[in-house]
Amino acid sequence: MSGRSIIRDALRDCLDRHRRRPAVAGGSEALSYEELGRRIEAAAPLLPAGHVGFCLANRPEYVILYFATLVAGHLPLLLDANFNTGEIEAIRGDCGLDALVMERTKAETLDLPGKGEPIPYGDEVVVLPLARDAGPAFAPRPDTEVCRFTSGTTGRPKCLEFSGHAVVSAARNWVLGTAMTVDDRTLCLAALSNGLAFNTSLLSTFLAGGELCFLKGVPLTRPVARRIAESGITRLVAFPTLYRNFAAPGGPDPSLLAGLKHAISAGAPLWPDVREEFRALYGLDISDYYGIAETGPCTFERDADHHAGLGQPLPGVEIRIAPGAEDAPGTGEVLVRTASMTSGYLNHPGLFEARVDAEGFYHSGDRGRMIDGRLHLVGRTQDHINVAGRKIDPTEIIAVVSALDGVADAVAFPDEDLNREALVHLVVVASTQEVTRSAVAEACRARLAPYKVPGRISFVQEIPRNGIGKPRIALLREQLGTRKETVA
Amino acid sequence: MNEDDLAAMKKRVQRLVYMAAGGKIQEEDLGHHDTDLRTIGLDSLGYLNLLEGLERTFGVSIDLDQEEDHSFLHTIDNIVRHLLARRGEAA
């Protein structure tokens, strides 16, 4: 990273302007902007120079050490806290990691070569220095200030590079587009490594002069509701499952959510009936915002009385619909141009650029249409599987399974469980009896992050394929639907 | 608690685990109540649903931050023992 940091400068401006106001709260910590600034400055010298990976659940220490990394002039890489050792090693090889910020207990059990002596930061968090045997395979662009990750193939998460300009633009446009103010207190329950949380909570809250709050522990509806009431939370940033649990019978007392002004859901599509039931119970519409890892936030519904679609484009966001040959009138691929786009994939040069057209529009792979200025999605053209907001490349799973002796063929595609949660459905053709459902599941659990492990495993005699060898998923679904005894 | 009540409670917890996992775990895999649920595919989302289900079904509040040892969630037997201990009953 170059000496100048646009994010650091934007943050310092916030810290100066809002000194006495509450900035961050979580667990037993509650910091004003002034205290946050002091903690950031004090933490900066603790961090080893270079690339600092964050493999940590949401907590005030995350915010302090993230901004401390920028203040120190280093590069933060925000890893999914669920990444396994193989994925961390892959990132280390591709992008370089000089340190990991993580929970002390996880650092103790992490089996990585070149682990240094952990530097404690409070009672529960450490900075774990890592020795570099060789330089990373890829060097970040000079203006890259933050890296985040999205699923890649063969266990190598794709590293998205973001310039400071892109990060600050995303935060500013979110503040403007959602009318965020100093009076807003955001309870962020989505992981900060996720684009949803990163863009809607981390810097945007501070740009507005608001307060960013975290919940210690598991996000069950009762503690979440209590926290909303006790802390005067005005914005809840969460995921569809939490809203479903709120809307289910026996949920928390609606009066606890009376102060909530925005309930924001993203990461995965929200079920329409959950939206309806939540509104009926709590009198609040859930804003089902649309964003893409590569482009940042794209839409938001500003009109509380408008209940259809994913909202209007945020400031600085342009959306075009590019009709394909088989699309219904008005429908097509969603193309997006924003000021908050990634600069590219650090470890997959050219891949992002290939999906951006001459006018700078990113071809999302989503299909949709605009109705009354709102984006409505109708499907996807890409093969990624979205599980709880994490995009999974099925080829990664197939690569793991195909390496097993006795697996003749395999395919993975999106499916749903009984709770309508998205899952990966893996279909295997086995040439020996040794290939059992438990053996396949065990192999996946050993080599893949937990969210990538197939939730359903089926066996068939043959996977139907078309003339060019592409699996015929619709036909396979039909076959499996008629042969339930083979579905795990 | 007598044997029948204990067996019925285990069945209720077993059903909650099955529902929490969204059917991703086979009913027969849940028949052995000493099986570690993590090894048969109960993931973090499943645990989230299970904790919600336990709270609402048995009227207990489970705060994992207050529990140093989380092994009470690892098997159906352990969950039942924990619920009974919270009620002041012996398994």
- Its pTM stands at 0.86
Q: Please list the ranges in chain A whose pLDDT falls under 50.
A: 1-2, 482-488
| Interface list for chain A against chain B, based on CB atoms closer than 8 Å | 82, 216-223, 241, 245, 248-250, 388, 416-421, 423, 441, 445, 450-451, 453, 455-456, 488
pLDDT of residue A243: 95
Chain B residues lying within 8 Å of A219, measured CB to CB: 48
Q: Which of B21, B52, B65 sits opposite A217 (nearest CB)?
A: B65
CA-nearest residue to B67 within chain A is A217
Containing structural domain, residue B48: 3-87
What CATH number is attached to the domain comprising B45? 1.10.1200.10
Q: B26 and A453 in contact by Cβ < 8 A?
A: no
> Which domains does chain A show, CATH number per domain?
6-164 (3.40.50.980), 385-486 (3.30.300.30)
Residue A392 to chain B, least CA–CA distance (Å): 16
pLDDT of residue A483: 39
Residue B59 one-letter amino acid: G
Q: Using CA atoms, how far apart are residues A305 and B44, in angstroms rounded to an integer?
A: 35
The set of long-range contacts for B16-21, using a CB threshold of 8 Å and a minimum separation of 24, is B16/B50, B16/B53, B16/B54, B16/B57, B17/B42, B17/B46, B17/B50, B17/B76, B19/A418, B19/A419, B19/B49, B19/B53, B20/B46, B20/B47, B20/B48, B20/B49, B20/B50, B20/B52, B20/B53, B21/A417, B21/B46, B21/B49, B21/B50
Q: How many domains does chain B have?
A: 1
pLDDT of residue A2: 47
CA distances from A415 to A46, A243, A487, B30 (A): 45, 20, 12, 22
Q: Which of A277-291, B7-21, B57-71 has the highest mean pLDDT?
A: B7-21
User: What would the pLDDT profile of A179-215 be if each residue is shown by its tens digit?
Assistant: 999 999 999 998 999 888 899 999 999 999 999 999 9
* Residues A293/A281, Cβ–Cβ less than 8 Å: no
CA-nearest residue to A450 within chain B is B43
Q: What is the ipTM of this complex?
A: 0.83
pLDDT of residue B24: 84
Mutation site for A-interface testing, chosen from B47, B49, B52, B54 by largest number of A Cβ within 10 Å:
B52
Q: B21 and A217 in contact by Cβ < 8 A?
A: no
Q: Is the pLDDT of residue B90 over 80?
A: no
pLDDT of residue A383: 66
